[in-house]
Amino acid sequence: QKEVEQDPGPLSVPEGAIVSLNCTYSNSAFQYFMWYRQYSRKGPELLMYTYSSGNKEDGRFTAQVDKSSKYISLFIRDSQPSDSATYLCAMTSDSSYKLIFGSGTRLLVRP
Amino acid sequence: SAVISQKPSRDICQRGTSLTIQCQVDSQVTMMFWYRQQPGQSLTLIATANQGSEATYESGFVIDKFPISRPNLTFSTLTVSNMSPEDSSIYLCSVEQGVGQPQHFGDGTRLSIL
């Protein structure tokens, strides 16, 4: 079993939809949680960075962490075709710099 | 966040040769890392590039295959040695600017081995 599980998709939604992307993990020591967006032929771009449990909002993006369920989510409101990309979750513990990544979810937002 | 430049952006190499990938950052950073992203897979940490000392390698990666240099706080290189088709991958440099700060990535080097 992988430490971090993420549905690879692809997830196809119409423009304007609310998108929900999720990851589950097994290591209860993870405290830092990140979402990266990766466009084709580009490196991962940091979208959201949260510590421990709770919600964080930045524009159209909301990150949620539920440590009791070992489950994190990224919500995208009013999705745009420019949001079409692969979304990677990543996490690490207090005592480590090593990021553990999910396999990424491909998102396609149709005009 | 720091601007990270990787060179080359892509290359096609012959089996048995070696290629050195450069990572340049526009500001001093505490930590630099090298990752591999194989086709259709997620990112795997190869090693941490330590300034002024030997790199710290993750399980499954060895210095003879992936020698790394970090001569200062803004620059690092990764060499992929004696390449085989299994080394075809995207190699990514990332940096961390301080304790508790997230990692930021370059655009990667797309490597194909014939």
What amino acid occupies position B14? Q
Measured between beta carbons, the chain B residues lying within 8 angstroms of A102 are 42
Number of A/B CB contacts below 8 angstroms equals 46
Of residues B82, B81, B93, the one with CA closest to residue B3:
B93
Structural contact between residues B57 and B47, judged by C-beta atoms closer than 8 angstroms = yes
Residue A48 bridge partners (DSSP): A35
Distance of residue A110 Cα from the nearest chain B Cα, in angstroms: 22
**B42-89 confidence digits (pLDDT tens):** 899 999 998 888 999 999 999 999 999 999 999 999 999 999 999 999
The per-residue pLDDT for B53 is 86
Q: Residues in chain B whose beta carbon is closer than 8 A to a beta carbon of chain A?
A: 1, 4, 6, 31, 33, 41-45, 48, 58, 92, 96, 100, 102-108, 110
**A57-101 confidence digits (pLDDT tens):** 999 999 999 999 999 999 999 999 999 999 999 999 877 788 999
CB contact under 8 A, B96 and A97: yes
Q: In angstroms, rounded to a whole number, what is the distance separating the alpha carbons of residues A43 and B112?
A: 17
What amino acid occupies position A39? Y
* Interface test mutation site (partner B, options A91, A97, A105, A106, max chain B beta carbons within 10 A): A97
CB contact under 8 A, A99 and B105: no
The residue assigned the tokens 């745009």 is A80
DSSP one-letter string for B43-90? EEEEEEE-TTSPPEEPTT--TTTS-EEEEETTEEEEEE-S--GGG-EE
